[in-house]
Structure 1
C-alpha cells in the first residue's frame, strides 16, 4: 500500500483542545475490527481506525435511542454499501476524505466474533434466526447478517459493490464455525448459488471512487456487467452487476477494478480481472477495459 506520509517512529505533538490534528493529504486509515488494531499499527506501520484501547469502535454505549456513531461496529454491520460509505466518510472530518482507504477482514470477523459487532451498536436483533432442520432446531445467520458489510466483503468477496475491490487475500485457514457452513446456509435457505469453498483467511479491500461505465441499450432493458477476478492465491471468482436502462436506453455502472494493472505510487494489488469487463444486454456483448487512473479518479468510460 502507498506510504501514508506518517513516520512510524516519530513523536507528534497533540493538537490543542478543540483542534484537529493536521494529517498530510497522503494519510489514510485501515478499517478492521478493534482486536486487530495493534497488529495493523505495529506490523503494518499503518493507522488503524479502531484498536484494542477500543477507540474508533463507534456504535452506542447506553441506549438504542442514541445516534449510531461512525466506527468499526457501525461500518461492518451497515446494511448497504451506501450506509457503509457514509460511515467511512463520517470518520474523517475533512469533507473530501474518507476515514479509511483499506478494509481488512478475517474469517473470524465473518463467523464466530461477528456477534460482537452488533453488540457494540446495541442493535442485536435479526442477525440470526432459528429453523427446524429435521434433527432439531438450529440457529443460522439471517438475511440481516448476509446484508451486512462484513458478509458482503468476506463471504461474497465484494461481488456487486461499486467502491470496494479486493486487493489481496491470504491462503485459506479453516476454522469452526467456518465460512463454508455460512455459504451452505446461504445457498440452501436463501436460494443462493455461491461456491461452497474455503477462501482467503484474511482479505484486504480498497475503498475507491470507481470508474463510471456509461452506454445505451434499448429503453428499460436489463444490462449486466461482469468480470472474472483472479486472486494472488490462484482463486477466481465472478464480479457482477445488473441494472435497467432508463426510458431513453441510458445505463451506467460504477466498477472498482482496473483491468490494466497497478500504477506506481498506488496500491500494488495482486488481485484483478483476468481480462476486460463484459457488458451484455439482449444479444449484444461488449468488452470494456478500465485503467487504474479511471478507478482512482472516478472517470467516465463511454461504451
Structure 2
C-alpha cells in the first residue's frame, strides 16, 4: 500500500481548479445534509433548537450581546440562589455573540437566533473542507474525494453539526481536525524540511494557537493536544536523523510557549468551588501547567540528547522517561493539588460520578438504555466501523519502517486513541468520524485499484463496484436520514412535518418556559449586574437550560447537574422525593416561587403526588398552568405550581374534628377538577387550614370558583378568599361550626 499521491495516474484530479470544485461541491453537500431537519427547527416563526445545551449557549450569548465585551463569569441564573460558574469556556459564545452583533443592534432577537441555528451546518461543511485538504495533501486527490464524501453523510458527524444543534462539539470537531492537519504537516516538515526556518517557526506558532483554541472551546480538548504532541515526541525519540529529532523537540517547545501564552489568560487563577485549582475538567491552572511542563520536558530532553552522542532510540526513551518522571515528581511535591485533577478526569471519563452516569452522551458506544446494542455504532458510524481497526492496522503495517511516513503515523495515533475513547463515551464519535472517514476513503480507493488490477475490469465496472461497496457499508446510516427526509417532504404536502420525540420534547419545554417568561414576575440580572434575582424556579435538571434562557428565570437545578456543586444539586434533587413537610423547607431554603412538575415522575414521590393531586392537601402549592404533548405523543405533560404562603383560614369547630375546604377550578386546558385543603381542630376547638388558591379569580388561564366550600361536623359554609391574602399569608376569618 502506498501513501503518497504520485502513484496516481496524472490527470484532471490533480489540477487545482478541479480540486477546488470538488471540495466546494462536497462541502455544499455536507451543508445540505445538515440542513435536512430545518422544518423541525423553524416552526411558525419560532426557532426551536435541537439540544438542551443549545439553550445555555444562547443564554450566555444573550448576556454577551447586552454587556459586550464583558462575559458572564458567575451566573446567578444557575444553581439559584447561590449562582455558579458554568463549566464550559466562554470563548465560543463570545465569538458567536460578536458574529451576530449586527442582528442584535437591529433589535431582532429571532433574527440572531435564526442565524445561530445555521452555525453548526457551516462548521460541519468547514470540517469536510478541512478533511479534503488534509487527505489531498498526504494521501491523494481520489482519497480526498472519498473521505470528504463519507464525512459529509456520516451521521456521527451530522449529529452535532445539524441545523439547530448549537453546541460546542461541532466547533470541537472542526478545530480538532485543523489540529490533526497541522500536526501531520509539521511532522512532515520535521523529517523532510523543505521550508525556511521562518516558515517552520510559523508552523510551530500555528500548532500552539490551535492547541490553545481547542482548549478554549472545550477543556476536554486536552486529549487532542496530547494527540498533537504525541507524534512530535515520536519523531524526537525515534527520528532517523539528529536534525529531525532536534526540530521535533524545538517544535514542542515553541508550540508550548505559544499555547501557554494564549490559554493562560483564560485559565490561570480560575476559582472553581466544586473543582480543584488544577482540574482538567475545566479551564484552570492545569492547562498552563501542561504547556509549561511540555516546554521544560522538550528543553531538558534536547539538552540531554545533545550531550549523549550516538544514543539509540532506547537510550533516548530512557532519558525522556527520567526527565518526565522528575517533572511529575517535582509537580507532585510543589503542586499537591495536581494529583486530584487526574482523579477527577478518570471519574469523568469512567462515569464513576453519579451525574455523568445519567448523561446520554457519556455512556459507552455499545450501551443504550442500560443494554448492549450495536445500533448506535452501526447507524452513526456505518458498518465500516467494525472494519476500521483492521484498515488502520493494515495501514500501519504498510507504512512502517520509513521516516517519510511519519505524518501518517500521526493519523494512526489519532485513529486508535479516538476509537478507544469512543468505546468508552459515545460523545467522541463526533471527532472519531474524521479519522474514520479518512480510513474509509483510503480503503475505497485501494479497493478500486485492486479490483482494476486483479480482476482486470474496465474502469467503469471498478468504479460501480466500489460505489456499491460504499453504499452497503453506509446502509444503516441512511435510516438516520429517513425521518428527516420524510419530515422535509411531508410538510410540502400541507400536513404537519414528521418530528422525532426529541424535537417534540424540546418544543414542549419551550412552550412551557415561554409561558413562564410571559406570565411570571421578571427577575433581575439576566443580562446585567442589577443584583440578585428575586426568586428561583424548581424543575428537573433536564429543564434547567430552558428555564435560564427561554423563561429568563433562575433555575435551582440545571443540565450541568452536580458539576456546579454536589451538595446543592443533591439538596435540590431531594425535593422531588421528599415528604411534604421536608419539601416545603427545601423550597423555602432555596427561595423558590415556582415549581415545574412533569407527569413521568417516580411512583410514591412528592413530585408524582403533587402532579396527580394538583396540589390538593399539600398546603402551599397552587396550579397556575399546564402543558400537554401535541397529537397525543408519549411525552411528559408539565404542570407549573406557584409556591405561596397561602391564606390561613382560622375558626372553631368541635374538638379534634376534621375541617375540609374544597374549591372547584378549571385549568387553562379546560380540565375541570377540584382541590382540597384540610385541618384538624385542636382540643379547644380551634382549627387552621392553609388555602393556596384565591376564589373567583384567574391566574394564567386557570379559573377558580367564587367560594371555597368549608365543611365540618356535617355543616358546609362558603368562604371567599382574595389573592392578596394568599400571596401574603394573612389570616382569614373562617366559619365557626
Query: Could you tell me how far 1:2 is from its partner in structure 2?
Result: 3.6
CA distance in 1, matches of 2:536, 2:670: 28
CA distance in 1, matches of 2:566, 2:584: 16
The alignment's TM-score, normalised by the length of structure 2, stands at 0.27
Q: Which residue of 1 aligns with 2:532?
A: 23
Q: Which residue of 2 aligns with 1:117?
A: none
Q: Which residue of 2 aligns with 1:297?
A: 728
Q: Which residue of 1 aligns with 2:247?
A: none
Q: Which residue of 2 aligns with 1:221?
A: 657
Q: Does 1:103 align with 2:612?
A: no
CA distance in 2, matches of 1:103, 1:55: 20
Q: Secondary structure at the match of 2:561?
A: coil
Query: Could you tell me how far 1:76 is from its partner in structure 2?
Result: 0.7
Q: Secondary structure at the match of 1:294?
A: helix
Change (3 A) 1:175 1:75: farther
Query: Could you tell me how far 1:238 is from its partner in structure 2?
Result: 1.7
Query: Could you tell me how far 1:289 is from its partner in structure 2?
Result: 0.6
Query: Could you tell me how far 1:54 is from its partner in structure 2?
Result: 1.3
Give RMSD over aligned pairs.
2.6
Residues 118-267 of structure 1: pairs in structure 2 closer than 5 A: 145-146=603-604, 148-171=605-628, 174=632, 201-261=637-697
Query: Could you tell me how far 1:57 is from its partner in structure 2?
Result: 8.6
Change (3 A) 1:204 1:222: same
Asked if the contact 1:104/1:205 (under 8 Å) is kept, the reply is yes
Asked if the contact 1:227/1:239 (under 8 Å) is kept, the reply is yes
Query: Could you tell me how far 1:89 is from its partner in structure 2?
Result: 2.2
Q: Secondary structure at the match of 1:151?
A: helix
Q: Does 1:88 align with 2:591?
A: no
Query: Could you tell me how far 1:59 is from its partner in structure 2?
Result: 6.9
Query: Could you tell me how far 1:56 is from its partner in structure 2?
Result: 8.8
Query: Could you tell me how far 1:282 is from its partner in structure 2?
Result: 2.5
Q: Secondary structure at the match of 1:101?
A: strand
CA distance in 2, matches of 1:106, 1:256: 20
Query: Deviations along 1:245-286, whole A, 9 cap, x unmatched?
Result: 222221110010011426xxxxx4322422311111223211
Q: Which residue of 1 aligns with 2:560?
A: 53
Q: Secondary structure at the match of 1:153?
A: helix
| Number of aligned residue pairs | 215
Structure 1, 285-294 or 275-284: larger mean CA deviation: 275-284
Query: Deviations along 1:113-151, whole A, 9 cap, x unmatched?
Result: x4xxxxxxxxxxxxxxxxxxxxxxxxxxxxxx32x2211
Change (3 A) 1:273 1:158: same
CA distance in 2, matches of 1:30, 1:157: 18
Q: Which residue of 2 aligns with 1:285?
A: 716
Q: Which residue of 1 aligns with 2:575?
A: 75
Change (3 A) 1:208 1:77: same
Change (3 A) 1:69 1:50: closer
Asked if the contact 2:599/2:608 (under 8 Å) is kept, the reply is no
CA distance in 1, matches of 2:596, 2:673: 19
Query: Could you tell me how far 1:90 is from its partner in structure 2?
Result: 2.4
Q: Does 1:4 align with 2:522?
A: yes
CA distance in 2, matches of 1:202, 1:56: 26
CA distance in 2, matches of 1:89, 1:221: 30
Asked if the contact 1:70/1:88 (under 8 Å) is kept, the reply is no
The alignment's TM-score, normalised by the length of structure 1, stands at 0.64
Change (3 A) 1:68 1:41: closer
Change (3 A) 1:46 1:277: same
Query: Could you tell me how far 1:175 is from its partner in structure 2?
Result: 5.5
Q: Which residue of 2 aligns with 1:120?
A: none
Q: Does 1:32 align with 2:539?
A: yes
Q: Secondary structure at the match of 1:23?
A: coil
Asked if the contact 1:212/1:254 (under 8 Å) is kept, the reply is yes
Q: Secondary structure at the match of 1:290?
A: coil
Q: Which residue of 2 aligns with 1:183?
A: none
Runs of 4+ aligned residues of structure 1 deviating over 6 Å after TM superposition are 56-60
Query: Deviations along 1:31-87, whole A, 9 cap, x unmatched?
Result: 101111111122111111111111599877xxxxxx99421x111111x22110111
CA distance in 1, matches of 2:594, 2:547: 11
Change (3 A) 1:301 1:3: closer
Query: Deviations along 1:156-195, whole A, 9 cap, x unmatched?
Result: 221111111100012355565x88xxxxxxxxxxxxxxxx
CA distance in 2, matches of 1:41, 1:68: 16
Q: Which residue of 1 aligns with 2:704?
A: 273
Asked if the contact 1:70/1:90 (under 8 Å) is kept, the reply is no
